[in-house]
């Protein structure tokens, strides 16, 4: 174990905030730009609670997994390989499910981002999709975290400016807003039913909650951004390596206290990501409710990109419409960058663990770039050759990545944090790094809520 750096304190913590900006800018994407806007138009601000609940529960999964990374230096996939049971059974489940989800999700983002970009600059959406994909590829090709952090931080600022300007203009009265925080089943309005929207509101809300704060993969990726930043026991920008168990046992009490300090840095970082994500997602929901709802418009297909912008421009000026388009485009580009940076890392880890000899045959950077090239090809095939509709792709990806594996993820992170991790350290160090019970409560709530969705609501979606 390399020497643990001294953690910052006070305002010094804010200087090292970085994983949060990559995390939230990655998960602020199609779930917010498309699904939140569409849900706001159909169901109004009465479902703000869906956004808040989804982000808050996944916050505990992502932060808990990243806490394990801060203490051990290894990512969430390696944690899953240590879960008791048949050898690597959780990692095999992740490999199969995430390979399919990644292909569909990355393709859907490329499609929608291309539509937004083409409406800003008036060229073909195919060209827009290609430009977004190649730009994202250039940003992530080196595998460096610092370049990723800089680009994503800029995009976060653009997103916030764009959506806040628009949503503030149509923000509801405070009483209506507060009512939206109370969980309940909304009623689909008659005008929406006449436009083909299903009577069951869960068919609209499930994809939204599935991609609020990102899906299963986003929580895994947060542990990668923590590694990239070099928090605690993690070696900055060193990926594809499990923890050295011998060195973990040799961690001293003073080093453990330093790691504990880095855990506090992580809590601030993760909370900032949660707050930014909540504000922006609610902003898109409010924009849809205040602009499209009164016009009885439920965005579908390519109209997702232009309807809100056009209506806003007609009523509040062209600047607002342009700012919304810029903010939405920035969000989708950020998501595409985050997905192309995250999924190759995730799949490289699953292949390394499940397929003996894979790591020895290919260096980590080669593994990473192989998956990048694969997703570049699938983007072209899925989005442009087959011509799937963006909303359909986004909803399908949200269910596959955002809901189906989330209960399993909550349980496995809890096992890794409370049962696996203590055995990796000496008794004194384990006592210092023991997580607070609040993490267990947050993970339990996430398991129960998302488990309910999987058992009782997802079957009605299809």
pLDDT value at 404 more than 80: no
Q: Cβ(451)–Cβ(407) under 8 Å?
A: yes
Strands (E), 128-286: none
Could you tell me the sign of the dihedral formed by the alpha carbons of 69, 74, 76, 81, in that order?
negative
> Whole-angstrom Cα distance, residue 228 to residue 242?
15
Among the residue ranges 131-135, 264-268, 359-363, 385-389, the one predicted with the least confidence is 385-389
Check residues 307 and 40 and name the one with the higher pLDDT.
40
Asked, for residue 400, whether it belongs to a domain, the answer is yes
Question: What CATH number is given to the structural domain containing 186?
Answer: 1.20.1740.10
Q: Cβ(27)–Cβ(339) under 8 Å?
A: no
Among the residue ranges 126-130, 131-135, 200-204, 416-420, the one predicted with the least confidence is 126-130
Q: Exposure pattern of 281-290 as b/e (b: 16+ CB <10 Å)? A: bbbbbbbbbb
Tally the domains of the chain.
1
This model's pTM is above 0.85: yes
> What DSSP element (H or E) covers 315?
helix 303-316
Rg value, the chain, Cα: 21
* Domain of residue 250, residue span: 12-461
Q: Cβ(3)–Cβ(252) under 8 Å?
A: no
Among the residue ranges 39-48, 103-112, 320-329, the one predicted with the least confidence is 103-112
Taking only the tens place, the pLDDT of each residue in 246-299 is 999 999 999 999 999 999 999 999 999 999 999 989 998 998 898 888 888 876
pLDDT of residue 302: 53
Q: Give the model's confidence band at 460: pLDDT under 50 very low, under 70 low, under 90 confident, else very high.
A: low
pLDDT value at 384 more than 70: no
DSSP-derived secondary structure letter, 300: -
Asked, for residue 104, whether it belongs to a domain, the answer is yes
DSSP-derived secondary structure letter, 238: -
Question: How far is the CA of 409 from the CAs of 63, 209, 405, in angstroms?
Answer: 12, 16, 6
Q: First CA to last CA across the chain, in angstroms?
A: 49
Q: Exposure pattern of 23-61 as b/e (b: 16+ CB <10 Å)? A: bbbbbbbbbbbbbbbbbbbbbbbbbbbbbbbbbbbbbbb
Please state the rounded mean pLDDT for residues 403-416. Answer: 91
pLDDT value at 442 more than 60: yes
Asked, for residue 6, whether it belongs to a domain, the answer is no
Asked, for residue 2, whether it belongs to a domain, the answer is no
pLDDT of residue 238: 85
DSSP of 110-164, one letter per residue? HHHHHHHHHHHHTS-HHHHHHHHHHHHHHHHTT--HHHHHHHHHHHHHHHHHHHH
Asked, for residue 297, whether it belongs to a domain, the answer is yes
pLDDT value at 433 more than 80: yes
pLDDT of residue 419: 96
Q: Cβ(19)–Cβ(225) under 8 Å?
A: yes
pLDDT of residue 173: 92
> Whole-angstrom Cα distance, residue 84 to residue 412?
10
The structure tokens listed for 216 are 């299963």
- Which of 250-256's residues contact partners 24+ apart within 8 Å by CB, and which partners? 250/1, 251/1, 251/4, 251/425, 251/426, 251/429, 252/429, 253/428, 253/429, 253/432, 255/1, 255/3, 255/4, 255/429, 256/425, 256/428, 256/429, 256/432, 256/433
Q: Cβ(176)–Cβ(45) under 8 Å?
A: yes
Find all residues with CB under 8 Å of 386, minimum gap 6, and list them.
none
pLDDT value at 383 more than 60: no
Find all residues with CB under 8 Å of 57, minimum gap 6, and list them.
442, 445, 446, 449, 450
pLDDT of residue 395: 62
Asked, for residue 298, whether it belongs to a domain, the answer is yes
Please state the rounded mean pLDDT for residues 191-204. Answer: 90
Asked, for residue 74, whether it belongs to a domain, the answer is yes
The structure tokens listed for 363 are 């260096």
pLDDT of residue 388: 46
């Amino acid at each position: 174990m390399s020497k643990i750096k001294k953690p910052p304190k006070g305002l010094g913590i804010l200087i090292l905030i970085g994983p949060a900006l990559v995390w939230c800018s990655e998960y602020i994407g199609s779930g917010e730009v498309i699904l939140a806007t569409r849900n706001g138009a159909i169901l109004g601000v009465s479902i703000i609670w869906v956004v808040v609940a989804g982000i808050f529960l996944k916050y505990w999964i992502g932060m808990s997994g990243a806490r394990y990374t801060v203490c051990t230096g290894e990512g969430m996939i390696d944690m899953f390989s240590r879960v008791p049971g048949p050898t690597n059974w959780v990692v095999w489940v992740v490999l199969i499910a995430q390979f399919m989800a990644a292909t569909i999700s990355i393709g859907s983002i490329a499609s929608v981002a291309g539509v937004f970009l083409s409406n800003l600059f008036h060229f073909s959406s195919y060209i827009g999709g290609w430009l977004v994909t190649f730009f994202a590829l250039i940003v992530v090709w080196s595998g460096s975290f610092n370049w990723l952090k800089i680009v994503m931080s800029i995009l976060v600022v653009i997103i916030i400016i764009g959506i806040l300007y628009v949503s503030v203009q149509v923000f509801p009265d405070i009483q209506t807003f507060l009512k939206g925080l109370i969980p309940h089943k909304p009623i689909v309005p008659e005008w929406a039913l006449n436009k083909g929207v299903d009577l069951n509101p869960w068919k609209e809300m499930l994809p939204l909650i599935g991609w609020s704060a990102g899906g299963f993969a986003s929580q895994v990726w947060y542990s990668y951004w923590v590694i990239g930043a070099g928090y605690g026991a993690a070696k900055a920008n060193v990926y594809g390596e499990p923890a050295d168990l011998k060195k973990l046992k040799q961690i001293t009490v003073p080093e453990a206290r330093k790691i504990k300090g880095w855990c506090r840095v992580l809590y601030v970082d993760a909370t900032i990501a949660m707050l930014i994500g909540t504000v922006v997602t609610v902003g898109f929901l409010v924009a849809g409710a205040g602009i499209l709802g009164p016009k009885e418009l439920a965005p579908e297909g390519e109209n997702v990109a232009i309807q809100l912008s056009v209506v806003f421009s007609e009523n509040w000026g062209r600047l607002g419409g342009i700012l919304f388009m810029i903010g939405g485009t920035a969000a989708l580009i950020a998501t595409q960058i985050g997905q192309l940076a995250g999924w190759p890392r995730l799949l490289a880890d699953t292949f390394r663990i499940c397929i003996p000899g894979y790591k020895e045959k290919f260096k980590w950077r080669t593994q990473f770039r192989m998956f990048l090239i694969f997703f570049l090809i699938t983007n072209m095939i899925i989005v442009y050759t087959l011509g799937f509709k963006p909303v359909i792709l986004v909803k399908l990806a949200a269910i596959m990545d955002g809901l189906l594996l989330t209960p399993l993820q909550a349980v496995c992170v809890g096992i890794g944090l409370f049962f696996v991790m203590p055995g990796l350290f000496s008794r004194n160090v384990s006592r210092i790094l023991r997580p607070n019970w609040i993490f267990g409560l947050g993970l339990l709530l996430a398991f129960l809520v998302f488990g309910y969705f999987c058992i009782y609501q997802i079957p009605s979606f299809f």
